[in-house]
Homo-oligomer: A and B are copies of this chain.
Amino acid sequence: MIIGGGFAGIAAAHALKRSNVDILLLDRRNHHIFQPLLYQVATAVLAPSEIAAPFRQLEAKQKNLSVLLAEVKAINPAARAVEVICPGVGSRKVEYDFLVVATGMRPSYFGHDEFARFAPGLKTLNDAETIRTKILSAFELAESTDDEKERARQMTFVLVGAGPTGVELAASIAQLVSVTLRKNFRNIDPAESRIVLLDGGARVLSTFAESLSKKVARRLDKLGVEVLTGVKVERVDDQGVIAAGERIPSATVLWTAGVAASPVIKMLGTTMDRAGRALVGPFLHIPEAPEVFVAGDAAAITQDGHPVPGVAQAAIQQGRFVGRLIAHRAKGRKDGRPFRYRNKGNMAVVGKNFAVLEVGWLRTGGFLTWLVWAALHVLALPQLQNRFRVQTQWFWSYLTGQRSSRLISEAPRPPESR
């Protein structure tokens, strides 16, 4: 049983393709998403379905896999059973021989959950559409109002957290306002928007080398993004943020800072770190039960004294490792070597034509790195069709500066007749 169809869950399922096991893949949503491009859905470059793939298609491709759309209610490792709730149907007990928990992370507000309703994070397609609607609506409101202060507030975008997501989102918003929305309004000039990227740390992209942080900060400055580092956010409310004692009025505050593990990890009853991740051993299972694995961002793993980062590459490697290990055990073999993360390099993209790359001793950034970034991301997308679609979108967007998903979504009607 695999809980969660992100990078780690899918990799585990895939690694078990030729194994004589029955796999149940459980997820709350009906689709896998390609998280690295989620920020482009949030900024109207891509349509939600272009970075998504329905889990059910895996059933057609992999005979030993079943998919269940459900939420986890409780896990009982002693009884090797999970209680799940299928929405609209009810709860049910599922027994397992091996359990892979790959439920990933969610935004964490460091004990300030009251910030959540004013500052959405970016983890799901729904988050991305919420953010897209917020950004596009802000310009509509700025265009409609006669109140200068309110107009300035609507045209101020604050991103809390200057990790990869914060940097990528800020740069993408900067290009949206200066290129895509140009000449699209009569009363305002979107290019006059203020985009503020806040971080409590000393520099942007703190997990990258310092030289790359500097490059990225310069690039952000060139794009018109105000970077404020060493600044703690004290409050987020309906008027904006208070950071370092000063209020920044803003109608669009986005949370790209902390993340915490999904509450499913807690159900395992194992030791967790401060972010709620499970402290798994070298074979990625919890100490209490060798048949219960945690893979992906929700697993806290230390290697050579450093934590294994919560990036897609690490999640895929962990998922694959767990899948193969289960395949071994199913054949009655013993566990081989423990998990080792092989860092194939970190990348971050900063708008058009610029990305940074850190791999081994190499630290580089610029246009060529951006081309590599684009090629790698297109190739990594799920489903061949999505590769064509995203490629076409990027090409068109690159040439014209237009973005093709500028929709302000309405709240859908609730599905009442179940």
Report A's interface with B, CB cutoff 8 A. 29-31, 47-50, 52, 54, 56-57, 59-60, 66, 68-70, 86-89, 117-120, 124-126, 129-130, 133-134, 136-137, 140-141, 143-145, 181-186, 237-238, 251-253, 383, 385-386, 388-389, 392-393, 396, 400, 402, 404-418
Contacts and interface: CB of A to CB of B under 8 A. Distances in A.
A141 B69 CA distance: 9
A248 to B, nearest CB: 13
How many protomers of this protein does the assembly include? 2
A144 B417 contact: no
Contact of A417 (B140, B238, B402): B238
Nearest to A406: B54
Nearest to A54: B406
Given A49-B47, A411-B411, A404 B418 contact: no
Contacts of A408: 29-31, 69
A359 to B, nearest CB: 33
A63 to B, nearest CB: 9
Contact of A186 (B59, B184, B414): B59
Contacts of A186: 59, 66
Q: Which of A237, A389, A392, A393 has the most CB of B within 10 A?
A: A389
A133 B416 CA distance: 12
Given A47-B47, A49-B407, A418-B141, A59 B185 contact: yes
A184 to B, nearest CB: 4
A87 B408 CA distance: 13
A31 to B, nearest CB: 6
Nearest to A134: B415
A57 B139 CA distance: 13
Contacts of A413: 117, 120, 126, 130
Nearest to A384: B396
22 contacts: A29-B408, A47-B48, A47-B49, A50-B404, A54-B184, A56-B185, A59-B183, A68-B143, A68-B144, A86-B141, A87-B141, A117-B413, A117-B416, A118-B416, A126-B409, A126-B412, A130-B412, A130-B415, A133-B415, A252-B417, A389-B393, A411-B411
A57 B44 CA distance: 14
Contacts of A60: 182-184
Given A141-B88, A418-B137, A418-B251, A407 B183 contact: no
B415 A402 contact: no
Contact of A402 (B70, B385, B412): B385
